[in-house]
Amino acid sequence: MSAQIIDGKAISTRIHTEVTQQVAARKAAGKSTPGLATILVGDDPASHTYVNSKHRACEEAGINSFGFTLGADTSQERLEGLIRELNQDERVHGILVQSPLPKGLDEQHALSMLSIEKDVDGFHPVNIGRLAQKGPEPLFVSCTPAGVMVLLNETLSSIEGKHAVVLGRSNIVGMPVALLLVRANATVTICHSRTQDLPAMARQADILVAAIGRAEMVRGDWIKPGATVIDVGINHVEDSSRKKGYRLVGDVAFEEASEVAGAITPVPGGVGPMTIAMLLRNTLKAAEMSDS
């Protein structure tokens, strides 16, 4: 079996185009330009790369972006003071605090200081709490988990009734994805480092979401024939044949898995592009909410 490749790059490009058109329409109607503020603390190279890519995407979509970079020795008081300032700034509709924060800073408390109406990254405790409850809807859903759900809905005629297995239980991906799948009426199993016989659990999945951060850990014989596989992992593997000296791989052994799965996301080009696309969509939504 040769799996269908789920093209996250193409889907994210379509979303980017839709957001760009809607932003242009807002401006033409005399409404405010959506604005995103990012807060980056410290000098982690990967975080700088991620934040820069978000600002580029905003510029391409016609969204205003405001970047705030603080030193690694920034105090909790200074960080939270900046968040309070941005909460009151009418130019800013969305605020993103780039994770991880340096040691010594309380990330959860900082996130709790965000205005829930500007929490476009979906990590405010109230938004996470609403996601975990039946009934109330979160104002915003975390961007990567939201992107995963878009990919699944684009690929499958229905998620309802399917057995979904999520490998990983992080606050950023694993747990929110599991909650979203429950909301979509899937039967969900969450696996982690203490799960016994992980391959056997994975083989039960109609939908397998891998978010464990270990290069190519999920092998082809872990996959149920015909399953839909969403690989959230982004790992650097040394490769002297590449100009940069490394290549990117996911948490799934792609070549093996694609011979068994019904559909699968590649790395790169699968989940990754969806994260920024959903951030743009959330920022536009925040601006639209501010109109009322």
Does 169 appear as a known binding residue? yes
- Closest of 280, 285, 271 to residue 58, by C-alpha: 280
- What backbone phi and psi angles, to 5 degrees, belong to 39? -120, 120
**Separation of CA 55 from chain center:** 16
Q: Has 98 been annotated as catalytic?
A: yes
Does 26 appear as a known binding residue? no
Q: Has 73 been annotated as catalytic?
A: no
d(CA 33, CA 23): 7
Q: Which residue has the tokens 């920034």?
A: 74
Continuous segment of H or E residues that includes residue 248: strand 246-249
Does 234 appear as a known binding residue? yes
DSSP string of 89-123?
Answer: -TT-SEEEEPSPPPTTS-HHHHHHTS-GGG-TTS-
- Which residue in the list 22, 98, 162, 224 is annotated as catalytic? 98
Whether the bond between 145 and the residue before it is cis, its omega within 30 degrees of 0, is no
- Which residue in the list 22, 119, 121, 285 is annotated as catalytic? 121
Q: Distances from the Cα of 251 to the Cαs of 103, 142, 222, 266, in angstroms?
A: 27, 20, 12, 10
- Which residue in the list 22, 54, 206, 224 is annotated as catalytic? 54
- With beta carbons less than 8 A apart as the criterion, state whether 31 and 90 touch: no
Q: What positions carry a catalytic annotation?
A: 54, 98, 121
Q: Which residues are annotated as a binding site?
A: 168-170, 234
Q: Which residues are annotated as a binding site for NADP(+)?
A: 168-170, 234
